[in-house]
Chains A and B, each alone.
Chain A
Amino acid sequence: MKNNLLKSPIMPISAKESQYGVDPSHIKKRVAEMPDMVSVSLKDLFPDLPDVIYPGAEDSLEMLYETAKEEIRKIDMGKIKSGDSVNVLASHHGFTLYGGEPYAILLRAIRDIVEEKTGTKNIRLRAGVGMRFRETEEYIRRYKLDEYYNGKAKGMAPIDPGIPIETEIGTLYGLKAAYDADWIIHAHHTDVREVHFHRQIDKAVKPFGMSYARIETRSTYHQNLGPRAANFIARAIFESNFVQEKFAFAAFLDVGPHGVIGVDADADLYALNDRATFIGCQLYGKVMHLFGKIDECIAVLDFPCPVPYVFSAGVIYANFAGANVDLYDMEKPLPPYTWYTEAFYKKNGKPMLDSIPPLNPSIKMCVHNYAWTGYPSAFFSEMIPTVVVGAEQAELFDMEPMNMTYMNHATIAKSTDAAMEFAYNVTGTDKVIIFDGAMGGLNCSKSLAEFLIEVAPIVSKEVEEDLLPKWLKQRGVDISVLEDIQK
């Protein structure tokens, strides 16, 4: 056993003030601080992960800003004339990655280079959200983007005024505020987040059907086409004449499960999507496959974002709850968790079809030390024994329209220590995985770390030799793109 690979825990980002979470003063202890917790570096688990810019040296964020400007400068912006209006389209999730500052830096770099190259000063930031309508308004304030965009920054919610967009599959609806400019720039990232929904199909295109879209479109995605056809909605909107006439280019923060790798800007979104597919399948796919090998554990939620989105090594809790199934394998129609799956549970709590897999049986208990409301999460507490730390968090969930029944199934512990003690006693396992967004590695118990270190080389081999070729073939992506990226 390579015990020298066990390191002290990586302290997660602090609790944040938000209408979606409890006051930070209520978060008295983080699970990473508890005895027997360690961290494992992702580079130690998977030595072939590419080098990262951030986390890194003290000046790494300045380096990222310079890299971003350099990459964006390479784009031909000839069609944007001085005086034209430009909307930089952003999405909430970018701000939850690596402390949020890297994505804010990308948004600043886009603004600066568009002004530098085109002369236009009419550059606006339009930041869409998921289900937390105020979320990007909070980020715009936190990262002072309103000042940076000279007062022209605003959040957009899916219930805001919309516009019809004629597509190959009929009328869909976008947000008016997203498209009220001569040009749009798509500012996104390669983090995989909801693999259960998008299955790494057209992931780079997804915001056109989601954070830049109205409720009608988003509901089409989640209810009308089925779990593996849904992403077509985003492509249909993106390929519409309306969007194509406005689309200038895309600029992505290239991130992996271990940090910010660089910036990728391209006027061809599908070329960028192919590269993002490699990152999603190869880098995140390994962590996802590794987590699928965990046989038993206590899962701890400890990050300022909604229950399903807290993450460990780039994998969100919702995907860990489905890690008993290969989420990248398109032959598997329904992941253990996705809204289509959730919809297909009968009144007696049993799935309608025998082929519907259960939520990850290796999660023996969930300790909800710190996570936000703002996403319907009752399915998790209904299916996985859950203990929530502190009556204040329980109260917040009871008051939130999407989570009125979350606490119907969860129990409350007065402190982090009491919750963990309860979980150890009831489950009998000492393996703990902490979803606290630790940067560069993952926090867990010593016992789980030892297990992960042992199986990582096998996982890496299985992904490279068997799974990755299958995943890419299912997505119609040519493996030669990988060679280009490696160059």
Chain B
Amino acid sequence: MKLVSIMAKVDKDKCIGCKTCEKLCPVLAIQIEDKKAIIDEDACRGCANCADRCPVYAITMVKREEPFTVKVDVKQFPKEAIDEICRKAHVNPEQVLCYCVGTRAEEVAAALLSGAKTPEEVSSMTGMRTGCTIECIQPMLRMVEAAGNKLQPIEGGHQWYGKTITAWELSDEVKDKYKSKGFFFDEDKELLDQIVNLKLEEGQNEK
């Protein structure tokens, strides 16, 4: 869930049509037409990536006159279906995946069950990955794939490139080679598994 209270605005006089913003918008809200950036205001989720990378400072973030909330209701799906996607992605349904927005895994699973097939669609529906846009990309990709979707980066874009290694895939060879250097590979995997497998009582964890 995210309260979308700000949005990006382009100063067309400054814009040089370089496409930088288009290539990094996590919800694909920007298109270049006649060498000028056009932002779909309804689609923008207010991450400020475009404003912060525009080489000529043509974009500013402004307050929305009518803020709105994006949210997927987790309760519309059976708990088992939500759990299945989360556990497959090695996360607990209640685990926070996006530290900026506070999106929990269960809402991402619900977005995927509602028909989202890409990270961009999940971001648009839940607001996940519209804060820093950095730290939650891996669990996002794990979740999208766990729901049975093929990961396909945006052609020519830099939104994301691909999934990387997890604790569950590290080879024994690498672990043995480096564990004396202070890396606690197996112990950390055990901790993560403990979280993943923790059964939380329904209804008891709401505020």
Please list the residues of chain A having a beta carbon within 8 angstroms of any beta carbon in chain B: 131, 133-134, 157-162, 164, 168-173, 199, 201-202, 214-220, 222-229, 231-232, 235, 330, 333-334, 339, 342-350, 352-353, 376, 378-379, 398-405, 474-476
- What separation, in Å, do the CA atoms of A133 and B97 have in the docked complex? 21
Contacts of A201 in B (CB 8 A): 181-183
Task: Give the nearest-CB partner of B181 in chain A.
Answer: A476
Query: Which chain B positions have C-beta within 8 A of A231?
Result: 183
Instruction: Compute the total of residue contacts between A and B using a CB distance below 8 Å.
Output: 193
- Complex contacts, B204 vs chain A, CB 8 Å: 348
Interface of chain B, helix or strand or loop or mixed? loop
Contacts of A159 in B (CB 8 A): 24, 49, 53, 133-134, 158
A220, A222, A399: which contacts B6 (Cβ < 8 A)? A399
**B52 to A, closest residue via Cβ:** A133
A-B contact pairs, 14 of them (CB 8 A): A171-B164, A202-B181, A215-B134, A216-B137, A224-B167, A225-B165, A225-B166, A226-B184, A228-B182, A344-B92, A344-B195, A347-B94, A347-B206, A348-B205
Q: Report the count of interface residues on B (CB-CB < 8 A).
A: 65
Partner-binding segment picked from B30-38, B77-85, B110-118, B186-194: B186-194
Residues of B within 8 A of A400 (CB): 48
Q: Say whether A222 contacts B195, CB under 8 Å.
A: no
- Greatest chain B CB density within 10 A among A223, A231, A405, A475 is at A223
User: How far is the CB of A321 from the nearest CB of chain B, in Å?
Assistant: 15
Fill in one digit per residue for B148-165: 1 if any A CB lies within 8 Å of its CB, else 0: 000000000010111111
A229 and B188: CB pair below 8 A? yes
> Of A223, A348, A402, which one neighbours B207 at CB under 8 angstroms?
A348
Closest approach, in angstroms, between the C-beta of B155 and any C-beta of chain A? 14
Query: Is A157's CB under 8 angstroms from B188's CB?
Result: no
Which residues of B lie under 8 Å from residue A157 when comparing CB positions? 52-53
B6 neighbours in A (Cβ, 8 Å): 399, 401
CA distance A173 to B16 in the complex (A): 28
Contact A352 B99 (CB under 8 A): no
Q: How many angstroms between the C-alpha atoms of A303 and B171 in the bound complex?
A: 44
Contact A226–B198 (Cβ < 8 Å): no
State in angstroms the CA–CA spacing of A171 and B97 once bound together.
22
Q: Are A161 and B182 in contact (CB under 8 A)?
A: no
Report yes or no: B164 in contact with A217, Cβ–Cβ below 8 A. yes
> Which of A164, A169, A350, A403 has a CB less than 8 Å from the CB of B165?
A169
CB distance B195 to A352 under 8 Å?
Answer: yes
Instruction: Given A159-B53, A348-B204, A376-B132, check contact A343 B3 (CB 8 Å).
Output: no
Contacts A160-B53, A352-B94, A352-B200 given: A232-B135 contact, CB under 8 Å? Answer: no
- In the complex, the answer to whether B182 meets A475 with C-beta atoms within 8 Å is yes
How far does the alpha carbon of A468 sit from the alpha carbon of B165 in the complex, in Å?
33
Given contacts A157-B53, A170-B165, contact A401 B184 (CB under 8 A): no
Tell me which residues from 41 to 74 in chain B have a Cβ below 8 Å from any Cβ of chain A: 46-49, 52-53, 61, 63
B160 touches A346 (CB 8 A): no
Closest residue to B180 on the A side, CB-wise? Answer: A476
| Cβ contact within 8 Å between B182 and A343 | no
Output the least CB separation between B82 and chain A (Å): 14
Contact between chains at B184 and A162 (CB < 8 Å): no
Chain A, Cβ-Cβ closest to B104: A347
Q: Given B5, B170, B181, B192, which contacts A475 in the complex, CB threshold below 8 Å?
A: B181
What 3 pairs between A and B have smallest CB-CB spacing? A226-B188, A228-B184, A133-B52
Residues in B neighbouring A173, C-beta threshold 8 A? 161-162, 164
Residue from B24, B132, B136, B206 having most chain A Cβ neighbours under 10 A = B132
Which residue of chain A lies nearest to B6 when distances are taken between CB atoms in the complex?
A399
A401–B47 contact, CB under 8 A? Answer: yes
Smallest distance from the beta carbon of A418 to chain B beta carbons, Å? Answer: 27
Whether the pair A224, B165 counts as a contact (CB closer than 8 A) is yes
Closest to A346 in B: B205
> In the complex the two chains form, is A339's CB within 8 Å of B135's CB?
yes
Least CB distance, B170 to chain A, in whole angstroms: 7
Given A157-B53, A347-B104, 17 more contacts at CB 8 Å? Answer: A133-B52, A159-B24, A171-B162, A173-B161, A215-B133, A216-B160, A218-B135, A219-B135, A220-B164, A229-B170, A229-B184, A232-B185, A353-B194, A378-B102, A401-B130, A474-B182, A476-B182
Judged by a CB distance under 8 angstroms, whether B17 is at the interface is no
Are A404 and B181 touching (Cβ within 8 A)? no
Give bound CA distance, A157 to B130, whole Å: 16
* Residues on B with beta carbons closer than 8 Å to the beta carbon of A346: 94, 200, 205
Question: CA separation between A199 and B182, bound complex, in Å?
Answer: 9
For B198, the chain A residues whose CB sits under 8 A away are 352-353
Instruction: List the B side residues contacting A399 at CB < 8 Å.
Output: 5-6, 61, 63
Find A353's partner among B130, B161, B183, B195 (CB 8 Å cutoff): B195
**In contact, A401 and B195 (Cβ under 8 angstroms):** no
Q: How far is the CB of B203 from chain A (nearest CB, A)?
A: 10
On whether the beta carbons of B185 and A225 are closer than 8 Å, the reply is yes
Decide yes or no: A229 and B167 within 8 Å by CB, A216-B161, A220-B138 being known contacts. yes
Contacts of A344 in B (CB 8 A): 92, 95-96, 195
Q: Are A214 and B138 in contact (CB under 8 A)?
A: no
In the complex, A227 Cα to B2 Cα: how many Å?
Answer: 27
Q: Which residue of B lies closest to A172 (CB)?
A: B164
Give Cα A434 to B66, complex, Å: 39
**How many angstroms between the C-alpha atoms of A201 and B101 in the bound complex?**
29
Q: How far is the CA of A229 from the CA of B63 in the complex (A)?
A: 41
Q: Which of chain A's residues have a CB closer than 8 A to the CB of B101? A: 404
A225 & B170 in contact (Cβ 8 Å cutoff): yes
Give the Cβ gap from B162 to chain A, nearest Cβ, in Å.
6
Interface string of B9-30 (1 = CB under 8 A from A): 0000000000000001000000
